[in-house]
Amino acid sequence: MNLLLVTADQWRGDSLGAAGHPCVRTPHLDRLAREGVCFTRHFGQATPCGPARASLLTGLYAFNHRSVTNGTPLDARHGHLARALRALGRAPALFGHTDTSPDPRRTAPADPRLRSYEGTAPEWDVVQPLPEDGGPWLAWLEEKGYGRLDLADLYGGELGAPAPFAAEHGETAFLAERFLAWLDRREAGWCAHLSFIKPHPPLVAPAPFHAAVHPDDVPAPVGLTRAELADLHPYLAVLAAQPRAAGWWNKPAADDPDGVRRARAVYYGLIEQLDAELGRIVAALEARGELDDTLVVVTADHGEMLGDHGLWGKAGCFPQAFHVPLVVRGPGVTPGRRVDAVTEHVDLLPTLVEAAGGAVPLQADGRSLAPWLGGETPLDWRRAAFVEHDFRDVETTTFERALGLGSDHCQLAALFADDLAYVHFNGLPPLAFDLALDPEMTRDVAAERARAPEVLEAAQAMLTRRMDAAERRLTASKLTAAGVIGRFE
């Protein structure tokens, strides 16, 4: 069996046709969902990119792997997907990026990898790197006759205008092309991680995808205004006060409704372009006779606020930043199943390792999705999503100074259940939202006496989750007079 893990960067879980989105058309992903399993309540574990991908690749919650911001080193002792696949005799190939910051204790002081957060997780065969600066793609464009350009040249146009390159020459197409060229030389039994950077900003799309969705057709942002957000909580007040990204990232001001509509439309167009490239990949697998022998997993690292609550990007405590798509198709997968139970990124490493023939590592905080994929419904499955966001910045200390907190206190964890969302802050008051009455999370009920039992229950559930996921690589073993018994890693 072949393994193909596809991730997109900053792709909201509601933004695909199979999720019932009113204007995004994703026919190729929808086909995979019809022929496989669509997980409707799948959550990344952390934001931003580095922590999110660390959880996906290690199977660990952020409070265990502790690579909590872009640039925070990932402890070299942690196992990860590529290492587990290699132990099973696979040679995992990588196309794109993982945003993994190397452990400086295992790295020479002059190593250039210590000067960027855009490192690559170890033990992947990096076939085609594609960092955020787009270097390999820009070189490819120059070969295609576009001349020597930089990202500002390509992405500096007016919001909603087409990019100055053909769709078949965009970043998404470039990475798909490199993967397909590699695939053409492979024999059965391959495994690969294809990591697209879109629909991550800049919000610029090539024709015809720049106009695939009309701004008048996009759903309006939900939630609070920035002013209302600032009144809700001290952390959110500081977050709302942060300047939006300047220049060609094309994130409009919250008080510019026309700009918000146009930016959302371009975002959806980038998703449609991504879907088109997925279609090319699926067609190639079919032509090779390998589609039914390939476990295809499509997801994203984290979501995007997209103007909801007046916010852009992935910071904060709202589910839009963490809810992502997950579609799985392949051998042994029940076709056409829709799973509404809560699943998480920590489940992907156990799932992929088990599919490759290995045992789920003791390190893993999640559980294999194999029962769901095989048509079963586990009775003891989790009932809430657990996510984290660390807002420290040891370089600028922005939030530390604004909130009077030490860096280790600049962190939040949230539990999203069916009827209540609970957000716990280290050093600041908690937040709680009645999702039945207030699904957009606009009114804090944490301090209401009548809601105290529910809030306490949510806080206890969060503590239980943390205790369940405590370090366990040696705890299942014991030294006895007869020697070591139990299992350990």
Give me the numbers of helices (H) and strands (E) for the chain, helices first please.
Answer: 14, 16
Euclidean distance between CA atoms 104 and 206, whole angstroms: 40
Euclidean distance between CA atoms 16 and 209, whole angstroms: 15
Chain centroid to CA 183: 25
CB-facing half-sphere around the CA of 184: CA atoms within 13 A: 7
> Is the CB of residue 301 less than 8 Å from the CB of residue 96?
no
Chain centroid to CA 333: 23
49 belongs to the catalytic site: yes
> Can you read off the two tokens belonging to residue 397?
């200390």
Q: Which residues are CB-contacts of 77 (< 8 A; sequence separation ≥ 6)?
A: none
Within 10 A of 380 (CB to CB), how many other CB atoms are there?
6
> Is the CB of residue 32 less than 8 Å from the CB of residue 326?
no
> Can you read off the two tokens belonging to residue 421?
């969302």
Q: Which of 23, 38, 49, 317 is catalytic?
A: 49
> Can you read off the two tokens belonging to residue 224?
């609070």
CA-based nearest residue to 329, from 8, 37, 4: 37
Euclidean distance between CA atoms 79 and 5, whole angstroms: 18
> Can you read off the two tokens belonging to residue 392?
């420290």
Helices (H), 190-233: 226-232
> Can you read off the two tokens belonging to residue 426?
């280290």
- The DSSP element (H or E) to which 478 belongs, if any, is strand 477-480
> Can you read off the two tokens belonging to residue 124?
């992947």
SS3 of residue 421 by DSSP: strand
Euclidean distance between CA atoms 19 and 275, whole angstroms: 14
Helices (H), 242-307: 257-287
Euclidean distance between CA atoms 239 and 230, whole angstroms: 8
Q: What angle do CA 81, 84, 87 make, to 5 degrees?
A: 150
Q: CA distances (Å), 397 to each of 148, 394, 401, 402, 411, in order?
A: 37, 5, 6, 8, 13
Give the residue numbers marked as catalytic: 49
